[in-house]
Structure 1
Amino acid sequence: MMKKWVCISTMALGTMLAGCVGGSGGGNESEEGGGGEGTISFIHWRGEDKAVFDELIAKFEEENPNIQVDMTIYPSEQYQSTAQTLLRDGSTGDVFTSFPGSQMEIINQAGLFEDLSGEEFLENYNDELITAGQIDDKQMAVPLQLVFNQPVYNAGLFEELGLEPADDWEGFLALCQELKDAGYTPIAFPGSDIGPGQFMNSMMMNNAPEEDIFERLMAGEAKLTDEWWVQTLSQFQELEERGFLNADSLGTNHTSAIAQLANEEAAMLASGSYAMAGVKEINPDIELGLLAPITTEAAEAEWEGINTTTFMLAVNANSEKKEAAKTFVEFLSDVDNASTYANETGQHVTVEDVEYESEELKSTSEWMDRNTRFQPRFLITNADIERAVIASIQSVVGGETPEAAAEEAQQIVDENLD
């Protein structure tokens, strides 16, 4: 497959830096200290976590007075495409985070991950849940978050209307129709940003139950014009044509879609469990749950939902502060600190023995024991192919036929294979 290096100009980088969320902790200049002290740079994309990280950083600096942490937060889409550029000279991102999939592949190809294999803090994590951070049997990063990339729904509304999550496609369509007839938008779909890349996972999980489907696509052994993807696009088309997605979904961002669920205009939100805290912030009294559309007959379904281990903590291989950086990752890996992070952000984590306090985290913990598969989209390691797959969904929601959208996307796949 073709690997692509994503770069930005100095001017573009300056613009991006100006648009990032304000930092916290110590000053911006690193100090000499033999790699074990001084100021370290911590970069990530989760602006909604700033308050809890400010709290944790203050605690860390109190416990480690020779190390200060300078945190900078970037918008997620910019972070995903430009993090490797920020990391290259080692002056930024002594500790950084990575998405699985194409971003991790790009950063790894650039040699920017410090090998964390053998670090004692790895014992704090669930062995099975941190495999996403492994490359060639080496632990290059540790995913802190465990999220479920499937729709969030208004459990209180479902109970009020006597509805339950469906176990097949016809049942899901009937559920959406009942919600529509009751005056609700069945699905708030943030089609302008993260919606297509999130909702696709549960929409395709049983149409292509083989977990290596995208590996085969990138090897030329499967095509987007095959039945599994055309069927998935056809089902997106059906949701749109039957009025089960919000109006102007392709012009709706995630923030607006969250508000639609929180304000009880929509019954479901097509993103994931990580959005629940944002919904509750707007409407603290709303009762939430998770579901995944089953796109086949019940007896044919192999998977119940989608999981992702993400927000992968890593140490920059080019950093001059590796020991201090590892100390900070070790701190975040401690069960007490991971518990603070989990409960104050509404996120499940991969650290073992964390006690979840909120009702949403407790109620959705059942999904840890359900038959879920790792998010398929993050198994697309070529960024151009990933964009083509997501764009085909947007094309269909915009009115193009599934066959034509699949053909256009496959052309991009073929170009990358060449």
Structure 2
Amino acid sequence: MKNRLWLATGTVGLGLILGACAGESGGEDSSSESGDATQISFMHWRGEDKAVLDEIIADFEEANPDIRVEQNIYPSDQYQATAQRMLQEGSTGDVFTSFPGAQFESIQSAGFFEDLSGEEFVSNFDESLIAVGQKDDTQYALPYQLVFNMPVYNKGMFDELGLEVPKSWTEFQEMADTLLENDITPIAFPGADIGPNQFMNSMMMNNAPDEDIFEKLQNGDESLTNEWWVKTLEDFKLLADKGYIQDDALGTNQDSAMAMVANEEAAMLATGSYHMNSLLDLNPDLELDLLAPITVEESEATYEGINTATFMLAVNSNSDKKDQAKAFIDYLSQPEVASKYANETGQHLTVNDVEYESEALQNTSYWIDERNTRFQPRFLITNAQIEDAVLSSIENVLGGEDPMAAAEAAQQIVEENRE
């Protein structure tokens, strides 16, 4: 990536409510202990990775017969709401994952990250991609995945229709009009569960190219009623008014939106690269790539897309099995293990010397070094109430509210929750 990844700072409050576990699994025989084997908990939100992680865990346990690993898997929204409570209790998450931004800052402030700075396995990661897991020159967490949080598009469909990737907002609308003329919904938007969490990033990246924009919002130097955010809301309104996103977008869940793209009823999925593998599972004949809407004219564009270093591996400071937890992270960071994980889950990773074998990963790897991408702006909002206000303003506009009115209501919440 041409630009450096930025470190998020700030805190969010506690008051988390523990929810029910969505699924638990381990490697082979991980539910029982053999001899003096120590069982550790690996807590994360990637339920779709369960099968490949089961295989990796089984291999790890074979190489380390004195350690057993149990996966504790939760839906991502529940994970963001309850992970800190579970870490505090100490019974779950000897190894755990963290989102960057508000969750990282909250867990770090609470003291639940073990300092990993001096561990040898830190050198297995690309140094330029792990700063988001640092605070005050201390490495608390190690991002494992390199995700591109921008729409996935059907490249084969574009080729058939003679469409090129648009380089401006004018060209984007012309492309979308051509898709509509061919009875294809331009963008499948999963508003019911994912919402604008991902799509907002590429929609605002060139409206507000200042990477400190949300820090300034939180400290009072910027406002959501200023042009950069009002224009972003107006752009979302345009998508809805022109039919560029499907009817009842706010009521469409992730699976339904993916089915629209897999069935070639829609050309783009407004999520990110992490869904490419799932789309190919639904329709192996798809040829996919990534496309971020450029909401300004070509001469005014600064960024071509969005990146996030996420799924940050960490050790619970409350754990009494820290050595075993670190051994597991060490294992996950070995190039051959990381390559297996990458290719079977369809994820680009931050680990050095990973070999990408899948066609989808090879075809999109150029985004890592050849495109000017920006770290996901949403993760630079470090106050959870302010983040909710920002996202809700988009949902309110998609629900029919005037952009300026939505911005004013959201700004009021910002002012009530500044630190």
Category of TM-score, reference length = shorter chain: over 0.9
Q: Deviations over 1:234-268 (max 9, x none)?
A: 00000100011011100011121111101100000
Instruction: Give yes or no for the alignment of 1:23 onto 2:25.
Output: yes
Equivalent residue number for residue 16 of structure 2? 7
Output one character per residue of 1:107-161: Cα deviation in whole Å (capped at 9) or x when no partner.
1111000010021111111111111111111110000000100000000000000
State the shift of 1:339 in Å: 0.2
Alignment of 1:307-322 (within 5 A): 307-322=307-322
Measured in 2, the distance between the counterparts of 1:4 and 1:134 equals 20
Superposed CA deviations along residues 315-371 of structure 1, whole A, max 9, x for unmatched, are 000000000000000000000000000000000000111111111100100100210
The aligned residue for residue 156 of structure 2 is 156
Instruction: For residue 21 of structure 1, report the CA deviation from its aligned partner.
Output: 1.6
Distance of 1:195 and 1:278 partners within structure 2: 18
For 1:367, what is the secondary structure of its paired residue? helix
Alpha-carbon distance change, 2 to 130 in structure 1, aligned in 2, over 3 angstroms? closer
Alpha-carbon distance, 1:29 to partner = 8.3
Question: 1:206 & 1:193 partners in 2: Cα distance?
Answer: 26
Q: Residue 384 and residue 30 in structure 1: after superposition, are their counterparts in 2 closer, same or farther (change >3 A)?
A: farther
Corresponding residue of 2:117? 117
Match of 2:133 in 1: 133
Q: Determine the C-alpha separation between the residues in 2 that align with 1:139 and 1:150.
A: 27
Aligned to 1:379: 380
Query: What TM-score does the superposition give when structure 2 sets the normalisation length?
Result: 0.95
Indicate if the aligned counterparts of 1:148 and 1:272 stay in contact, CA closer than 8 A.
Answer: yes
Which residue of structure 2 lines up, in the alignment, with residue 47 of structure 1? 47
In structure 2, the gaps of 5 or more residues are 1-9
1:195–1:271 CA contact under 8 A, matched in 2: no
SS at match of 1:40: strand
Q: Does 1:289 align with 2:293?
A: no
Contact 1:233 1:402 in 2 (8 A): yes
Count of aligned pairs: 408
**C-alpha displacement at 1:295, in angstroms?**
0.6
**Amino acid aligned to 2:199:** F
Note the C-alpha offset of 1:7: 1.6
Distance in 2 separating the partners of 1:187 and 1:244:
6
Shift of 1:195: 3.5
Map 1:267-416 to 2 at 5 A. 267-369=267-369, 370-416=371-417
In structure 1, list runs of 5 or more residues that go unmatched: none
Kept in 2: contact 1:150–1:272 (CA 8 A): yes
Runs of 4+ in structure 1 over 6 Å off: 29-33
> CA 1:66–1:116 in structure 2 vs 1: closer, same or farther (change >3 Å)?
same
Per-residue CA deviations over 1:205-238 (Å, capped at 9, x if unaligned) read 0010011111111111111111000000000000
Are the counterparts in 2 of residues 6 and 82 from structure 1 also a CA contact under 8 Å?
Answer: no
Q: Report the Cα distance in structure 2 between the residues aligned to 1:189 and 1:67, rounded to whole angstroms.
A: 43
CA shift, 1:27, in A, is 5.2
178-187 or 37-46, which deviates more:
37-46
**Superposed displacement of residue 32, structure 1:** 11
1:68-217 correspondence runs (5 A)? 68-217=68-217
Taking the aligned partners of 1:29 and 1:102, their CA distance within structure 2 comes to: 36
Residue 253 of structure 2 aligns to which amino acid in structure 1? N
Shift in Å, 1:6: 3.2
Cα deviations by residue, 1:80-102 (Å, 9 ceiling, x for unpaired)? 11100011132210000000011
RMSD: 1.5
Instruction: Using the aligned pairs only, state the percent identity.
Output: 61
Q: Distance in 2 between matches of 1:219 and 1:259?
A: 41
